Amino acid sequence: MSGKIGSAIKRREDPALITGRGRYTDDLKLPGMLHAAIVRSPHAHARIRGIDIAAAKASPGVHGVFTAEDVNAAGLPGMVPVGWLLPELKTPPHPILASEKVNHVGDAVAVVVADERYQARDAADLVEVDYEPLPASSNPKKTTEGAQQIHDEAPNNIAFDWEIGDRAKTDAAFAAAAHTVEVDLTNNRLIPFAIEPRAVIADYDGDRGAITVHMTTQNPHVHRLLMCLASLGFPEHKVRVVAPEVGGGFGSKIHHYADETIVCLCSIKLGRPVKWTATRTETNLTDAHGRDHVTHAELALDEGGKITGLRVETWANMGAYLSTFAPAVPTYLYGTLLSGQYDIPAIHAHVVGTFTNTCPVDAYRGAGRPEATFVVERLMHLAGEATGLGPAEIRRRNFVRPDAFPYETQVALTYDSGNYEPALDRALELVGYDALVAEQAERRKDRTRPQIGIGFSNFIEACGLAPSAVVGSLGAQAGQWESADVRVHPTGTVTVYTGSSSHGQGHETTFAQIVADKLGLEVDQVEVVHGDTDKVQFGMGTYGSRSAAVGGSAIARSVEKIVEKSKRIAAHLLEASAEDIDFAGGKFTVKGSPESSLGWADVTLQAYLAHNYPDDLEPGLSATTFYDPSNFTYPFGSHICVVEVDPETGNTRLLQYVAVDDVGNVINPMIVEGQVHGGLAQGIGQALWEGTAYDEQAQLLTGSLMDYALPKIHNLPMYTLDRTVTPCPHNPLGVKGVGEAGAIASPPAVVNAVLDALQPWGVRHLDMPLHAEKVWRATQA
Amino acid sequence: MGVPIKVQVNGKTYERTVEPRTLLVHFLREELGLTGTNVGCETSLCGACTVMVDGKTVKSCTQLALQADGSSVTTIEGIADGDRLSAVQEGFWEKHGLQCGYCTPGMIMAATHLLSENPKPSEAEIRAGLKGNLCRCTGYHNIVEAVKYAAAKMA
């Protein structure tokens, strides 16, 4: 099958997945395998007075019951680490099993292992933990206002106090402003909700002192590293982490969870493979949540509607502990994005990260960027109203102009490229804006009729965190490059080993397209291997829309090296100099004498025979690249959402959703569109339905699908997509990343649309999710 | 404690003794090794565990294996005709109706059942017919396209 870059070929992943032959972690059964169930705290905040495991131990089929004492006895360090440090960040210890105090509902206290999973669950219910409940907090702002101290290390429950931009300059802009608009908003807490629950199978080999861990991970090497450094303490070469098929992640399977090492402990103690699969309630209680900000934001504008300043104050809920990348999310992935697509001369943002007795919050699809986009685009909507310029014109007047790139923002980023107005024009055209405005005016004459609302969202994303040195200077405890080992076999077929780790994104297809395109091969001649630390060189994994831009670029660089070497071999065989060899369509020819040529496989075979070969060249044909990008990539887009709001019921119906994205060059447009669709549904879900609720005692009220509303098929429209193409100027493929775009852009597009529909009632703002009751109440005011 | 049951699964008859509380999905996955059917939510809401029992779709995470005694069950493993994919399976592949693939077996079962009752569904009918199945990856757009493709192919 020919699969040039840019062609929408079908995915090679699919035949196994549509026939039920795909193997996810819970599908695996190892010989002698036992099942674990984890005992979790029912209290949000409590001291542990004692744990009685006797009844559980005596329960049928039980092989072992383990607590924090066993972690220490086994010599494991037993701590869940933080992978991103900020200045003066408070990093209280996070033991894999709590022994003195639990800090959120779902905190792990003990683990039970039995012959089969029902027995393990039965026995887990027999573990008696004597708790002394303490007052608990769940709100990121109120937790700093005299709530019960959660960690001794963090006075007033403050994890960090961070700022970016120029406060004095921004205050001056406000003092001189012709118009100002402000909004108090929350960014609702979300449950990532991969349909596949997290799962782990640990298999300890006592003879080798080694352990193999099959698990639901987006980044096997990062998981291995974090386990070896902090929780498990094994040397890295004795740990193999394998990601079988992974059923969605959206960020939630990046992070290192206590459960992973708890299951390892069980296997070490019992000398047998042990499996643990989370129940849905466990995933809702413990999969790191997303968002959860309380924000006050203000925009200053001059007479002509040009923005002169932006001021933002945010309280970011970190939950009970700092999860893997959590400190980066409301800081470097949020504050730095507050310039949006706009030329803003003065910005200041102040973020306070706080501890509460809730599930830890970490990167979830978009990670900080949706929160920033929501702030900026809500303010733009309000500014369009306040200045009378309307949503399109206010944005046009403030776009960074196409000749201003590279553009340095006031919040530390340098946008490498962009051209924002054509995407807005295209979106307006696709949505049929003028006719919609006329229809809206007509409906507004009668407030009892369903009202039309039109919402805009112009977003920017920074993908592919880079380069490593910069990211390190900002606190990352990891590099942000990606690896690729491209091995050409003697017969000319190719195997790619990528450090990127697919969990639905279709790497096996798109990465094969990159190689096939550049070497003139069929895609079927290229195999892609990922997700196994024993097979693949160290890699950083898949998150942050980085796989094509960083992982794909690593592959492209390796292929360049291979072409370079194969040209030298061809030159030797053709008795020409390497500079005179052209390589195209899988053929080597001597410049000016096309009859003098060699096929790809002639050269690859000679690379391994090395019989007739250049003296100064090593045999073999493979190349490894650790690609460290020189900058982030900056995808952008212009989205318009059209809703109909029924004032009788408060119900919102999506009539149209137009998304014009610029993700640079596209490897497989079918996969790119699929990524946009999925992101849109998650963002629309955040705007209209999804809301994680904790009560006053920090009990999770949305512990299952009975209470947490995911977007369903009958709630959503067909989406209208288009693209503009502004290639990334600094990576070899000109690609920028697409995984998070939809989830970043859509919440403000939908919310702006609903509030536009509510304009006749003078409603300025409502917090997400905009479910029917909330909207209906707003129309009753 | 075990209770004997006799169930036909994908055309093959199995006689097994099960603990009464065994869920149908665990019977299929762990007793018969048919791991194509997945568990997503345990509350009948996500549909990842959808199978057909006597021609009707069932959420196998909230049905006991005992209840299937004497029944004929079809799972994702029994949908293709040997190596020949069903029209619905083909539609999901052609139209990129899946990403991570975890909800896909249940989606295909539900879509197969929908088309058996309504061979020419409108977009709204497809959406209504699949509302018991959740997908977190695709935003559903291409699932609708996949079912349309299958309907056209079967016509």
Using DSSP's 3-state secondary structure scheme, residue B9 falls into: strand
> Cβ distance A453 to A758 under 8 Å?
yes
pLDDT category of residue A473 using cuts at 50, 70 and 90:
confident
Average pLDDT over residues A461-475: 86
**DSSP assignment of A752-774:** HHHHHHTGGGT----PSP--HHH
Token reading at B154: 């079967």
Using DSSP's 3-state secondary structure scheme, residue A261 falls into: helix
Beta bridge mates, A529: A497
Token reading at A102: 């639990």
Q: Which of B26, B96, B100 sits opposite A671 (nearest CB)?
A: B96
- What separation in angstroms does the CA of A108 have from each of A71, A692, A703? 13, 20, 16
Residues A664-714: pLDDT tens digits?
A: 999 999 999 999 999 999 999 999 999 999 998 999 999 999 999 999 999
Query: Which are the contacts of A403, defined by CB distance < 8 A and separation ≥ 6?
Result: none
pLDDT category of residue A468 using cuts at 50, 70 and 90:
confident
Are B99 and A505 an interchain contact pair (Cβ–Cβ within 8 Å)? yes
CB < 8 Å from A in window 84-113 of B: 85, 89, 92-94, 96, 98-105, 108
Domain with CATH 3.90.1170.50 in chain A: 14-134+195-248+253-286
Using DSSP's 3-state secondary structure scheme, residue A451 falls into: strand
Residues A415-451: pLDDT tens digits?
A: 999 999 999 999 999 999 999 999 999 999 999 999 9
**DSSP assignment of A419-444:** -HHHHHHHHHHHHTHHHHHHHHHHHH
**DSSP assignment of A589-657:** EETTEEEEEEEHHHHHHHHHH-SS--TTS-S--EEEEEE--SS-B--EEEEEEEEEEETTTTEEEEEEE
Average pLDDT over residues B103-111: 98
Are B99 and A504 an interchain contact pair (Cβ–Cβ within 8 Å)? yes
Are B79 and A19 an interchain contact pair (Cβ–Cβ within 8 Å)? yes
CB-based contacts of A528-531 (< 8 A; 24+ apart in sequence)? A528/A495, A528/A496, A528/A498, A529/A495, A529/A496, A529/A497, A529/A498, A530/A243, A530/A497, A530/A498, A530/A499, A530/A500, A530/A501, A530/A502, A531/A217, A531/A220, A531/A242, A531/A243, A531/A244, A531/A246, A531/A501, A531/A502
**How high is the mean pLDDT of chain A?**
97
pLDDT category of residue A206 using cuts at 50, 70 and 90:
very high
Query: Is residue B1 scored above 90 in pLDDT?
Result: no
Q: Is B148 on the interface with A (CB under 8 A)?
A: no
Residues B52-102: pLDDT tens digits?
A: 999 999 999 999 999 999 999 999 999 999 999 999 999 999 999 999 999
Nearest CA distance, A652 vs chain B (angstrom): 17
Average pLDDT over residues A348-364: 98
Nearest CA distance, B33 vs chain A (angstrom): 8
Using DSSP's 3-state secondary structure scheme, residue A325 falls into: coil
Q: How far apart are CA A636 and CA A619, in angstroms?
A: 45
Query: Is residue A101 scored above 90 in pLDDT?
Result: yes
Q: Is B138 on the interface with A (CB under 8 A)?
A: yes
Domain with CATH 3.30.365.10 in chain A: 293-465+631-780, 481-627
* Burial category of B31 from C-beta neighbours within 10 Å (exposed 0-12, middle 13-18, buried 19 and up): middle
* Burial category of B125 from C-beta neighbours within 10 Å (exposed 0-12, middle 13-18, buried 19 and up): middle
Q: What's the longest Cα–Cα distance across chain A?
A: 87
Residues A237-263: pLDDT tens digits?
A: 999 999 999 999 999 999 999 999 999
C-beta neighbour count of A23 within 10 angstroms: 13
pTM for the whole structure: 0.97
Q: To the nearest whole percent, how much of chain A has pLDDT over 90?
A: 97
Q: Which phi and psi (to 5°) does residue A184 adopt?
A: -105, 125
Q: How far apart are CA A310 and CA A380, in angstroms?
A: 11
Strands B3-9 and B72-74: parallel
pLDDT for the residue A59: 98
pLDDT category of residue A472 using cuts at 50, 70 and 90:
confident
Q: How far apart are CA A442 and CA A771, in angstroms?
A: 25
Q: Rounded to a whole number, what is the distance in angstroms from the first to the last CA of chain B?
A: 49
| Residue type present at position A412 | A
Average pLDDT over residues A508-522: 97
pLDDT for the residue A240: 98
**DSSP assignment of A176-197:** T-SEEEEEEEEE--B----SSP
Q: What is the ipTM of this complex?
A: 0.98
Q: Let me know if domain A293-465+631-780 sits in CATH 3.30.365.10.
A: yes
pLDDT category of residue A1 using cuts at 50, 70 and 90:
low
Q: How far apart are CA B15 and CA B144, in angstroms?
A: 38
Closest CA to A396 of A424, A437, A427: A424
Average pLDDT over residues B97-118: 98
Alpha-carbon A281 to chain mean position: 22
Residues A368-417: pLDDT tens digits?
A: 999 999 999 999 999 999 999 999 999 999 999 999 999 999 999 999 99
Domains recognised in chain B with CATH numbers: 3-78 (3.10.20.30), 87-154 (1.10.150.120)
pLDDT for the residue B139: 98
Q: Which of A11, A20, A716 sits opposite B105 (nearest CB)?
A: A20
> Cβ distance A114 to A186 under 8 Å?
no
Chain B positions touching A118 (Cβ under 8 A) are 19, 21-22
Count Cβ neighbours within 10 Å for each residue of A554-569 and write b for 16 or more, e otherwise: bbbbbbeebeebbbbb
pLDDT category of residue A465 using cuts at 50, 70 and 90:
confident
| Cα pseudo-dihedral A164, A166, A168, A173, rounded to 10 | -110
Residues A307-353: pLDDT tens digits?
A: 999 999 999 999 999 999 999 999 999 999 999 999 999 999 999 99
Q: What is the DSSP letter of B86?
A: P
Q: How far apart are CA A733 and CA B100, in angstroms?
A: 25
**How high is the mean pLDDT of chain B?**
97
Chain B positions touching A687 (Cβ under 8 A) are none
Token reading at A646: 């029924």
Average pLDDT over residues A741-760: 98
- Nearest-Cα residue of chain B relative to residue A684: B139
Q: Radius of gyration of chain A from Cα atoms?
A: 27
Residues A581-610: pLDDT tens digits?
A: 999 999 999 999 988 999 999 999 999 999
Residues A270-284: pLDDT tens digits?
A: 999 999 999 999 999
Nearest CA distance, B70 vs chain A (angstrom): 24
Chain B positions touching A19 (Cβ under 8 A) are 36, 76-77, 79-80, 85, 89
- What separation in angstroms does the CA of A142 have from each of A29, A315, A364, A527, A759? 47, 10, 24, 53, 31
Token reading at A317: 């809920």
Are B96 and A11 an interchain contact pair (Cβ–Cβ within 8 Å)? yes
Chain B positions touching A711 (Cβ under 8 A) are 139-140
- Nearest-Cα residue of chain B relative to residue A22: B36
Residues A630-644: pLDDT tens digits?
A: 999 999 999 999 999
Q: How far apart are CA A531 and CA A246, in angstroms?
A: 10
Q: Which of B77, B96, B127 sits opposite A714 (nearest CB)?
A: B127
Q: Which CATH number does A14-134+195-248+253-286 carry?
A: 3.90.1170.50
* Burial category of A467 from C-beta neighbours within 10 Å (exposed 0-12, middle 13-18, buried 19 and up): middle
Residues A135-180: pLDDT tens digits?
A: 999 999 999 998 899 999 999 999 999 999 999 999 999 999 999 9
Are B96 and A678 an interchain contact pair (Cβ–Cβ within 8 Å)? no
The architecture in CATH of the region A481-627 reads 2-Layer Sandwich (3.30)
Query: Is residue A194 scored above 70 in pLDDT?
Result: yes
Respond yes or no on whether the N-terminal peptide bond of residue A406 is cis (omega within 30° of 0).
yes
| Cα pseudo-dihedral A769, A775, A777, A778, rounded to 10 | 110
Q: Which of A19, A678, A718 sits opposite B76 (nearest CB)?
A: A19
Q: Rounded to a whole number, what is the distance in angstroms from the first to the last CA of chain A?
A: 62
Are A23 and B35 an interchain contact pair (Cβ–Cβ within 8 Å)? yes
Query: Is residue A471 scored above 90 in pLDDT?
Result: no
Respond yes or no on whether the N-terminal peptide bond of residue A467 is cis (omega within 30° of 0).
yes
pLDDT category of residue A3 using cuts at 50, 70 and 90:
confident
Closest CA to A395 of A477, A440, A459, A449: A459
